[in-house]
Structure 1
Amino acid sequence: MIEKIKALWIKYEEIIAYLIVGGLTTVVSWAAKFLANFLLFDNTMYPTPFQNVVLSIINWTAGVIFAYFTNRKFVFKSNAPMLSEAPKFVLSRVSTLILDMVVMQVLTAVGVNLLVATVISAVLVIIGNYVFSKLFVFNKKKDGEAEEAK
């Protein structure tokens, strides 16, 4: 049984680590968002479009800072220079920020509660972030591809 668990861990380590880090990133970004909502907007559950944008930017900024360092270290185990990697990470996260803003505007405009809309948006954003991180930011060439590139 232990050997099976170890084998599954080895096979799916990156995805499991991403889900854990993604969950923690979600907690950090939501904490920032809801704290800002409490401090800035009297804890409204039906924010205006302007309030939505402000909350999304706060949510995004906290999440990006936390996610970059944790994904780099624990998920993708990157040793690439931060100066080449960080801008790609931020750019990929800008695209999912836009996705978050659009989803939040649409869902709250049709009367969906802020909490429910945030959960729906988070699922879409987490999937998008993984795809961008895997393919664009922390992509490692396979050993054979690296040898062929030389």
Structure 2
Amino acid sequence: METIKQLFIKYKEIIMYLIMGGGTTVVNWVVYSLMVMFCHPGNNLTGPLHISASTIDIFVANVVSWVLAVTFAYITNKLFVFESYSWNPKFVLKELSLFLSARIATGLIEIFGVPFLVSHGFNQAIFGLEGSVCKITMSFLVVLLNYVFSKLVIFKKDKTEA
């Protein structure tokens, strides 16, 4: 039991990031799934782009699920993962702007990546949910990039704090 406790202490940040990331992923996937299942207008758009309503539904579902997941992620990463407890407005503004900038970058990768992969034939479904394989692939990439940005840029501890 002591060994498990020591391992948790040693790897607490990574373990907490994975737990909170799991929660963020749940928020992202639940919102995405609900929107894909319940928000189908069922019409195709006409015009030179020939975009299907299904592709638009996936795009909108990704945007909404991303916004809610990022809000959840900032709060949980700040408090439970990187233990950044300062609520000084100037500090929070800087931290939040860095967090949002990084998440916008990775969010754009996910938001445009999923429909891009779907429209290029990688439209495999899991449990009947269209685009699931694409969503999983992009989610994995985004989680990795988000940790790197959070650790090295956003919640970076000053050497004087260590």
Please classify the TM superposition score into its range, dividing by the shorter chain length: 0.7 to 0.9
RMSD: 2.1
Secondary structure of 1:41's partner? Answer: coil
**Secondary structure of 1:73 counterpart:** helix
| 1:22 aligned partner | 21
Rounded to whole Å, the distance in 2 between the matches of 1:79 and 1:69 is 10
Is residue 2:112 matched to residue 1:112?
A: no
**How many residues of Structure 1 are paired with residues of Structure 2 in the alignment?**
142
Structure 1 unaligned segments of length 5 or more: list them.
none
Query: 2 CA distance for matches of 1:27 and 1:47?
Result: 25
**Which deviations, in whole Å up to 9, do the C-alpha atoms of 1:87-129 show, x marking residues without a partner?**
1111110001111133213321223221111111111110011
How many Å apart are 1:83 and its aligned residue?
A: 1.7
Amino acid at match of 1:77: E
Q: How many Å separate the matches in 2 of 1:84 and 1:60?
A: 21
Are the equivalent residues in 2 in contact too, given 1:56–1:97 (CA < 8 A)? no
Structure having the higher helix fraction is 1
Q: Which residue of 2 aligns with 1:97?
A: 107
Aligned to 1:11: 10
* Local SS of the residue matching 1:133: helix
Unaligned runs of 5+ in 2: 43-51, 125-130
| Aligned-pair CA distance for 1:138 | 0.7
Q: Which stretches of structure 1, 4 residues or more, deviate above 6 A after TM superposition?
A: none
Distance in 1 (CA, whole Å) between partners of 2:159 and 2:20 is: 24
Give the secondary-structure state (helix, strand or coil) at the position aligned to 2:20: helix
Q: Match of 2:73, as an amino acid? A: A
Task: Describe the shift of the 1:37–1:127 C-alpha distance in structure 2 as closer, same or farther (beyond 3 A).
Answer: same
Q: Distance in 1 between matches of 2:41 and 2:33?
A: 10
> Which residue number corresponds to residue 39 of structure 1?
38
Secondary structure, counterpart of 1:16 in structure 2? helix
Q: Say if 1:47 and 1:75 are closer, same or farther in 2 by CA, change over 3 A.
A: farther
* Higher RCO (C-alpha under 8 Å, 6+ residues apart): 1
Separation (CA, whole Å) in 2 of partners of 1:48 and 1:142? 50
Other-structure match for 1:131:
148
Name the residue aligned to 2:72.
Answer: 66
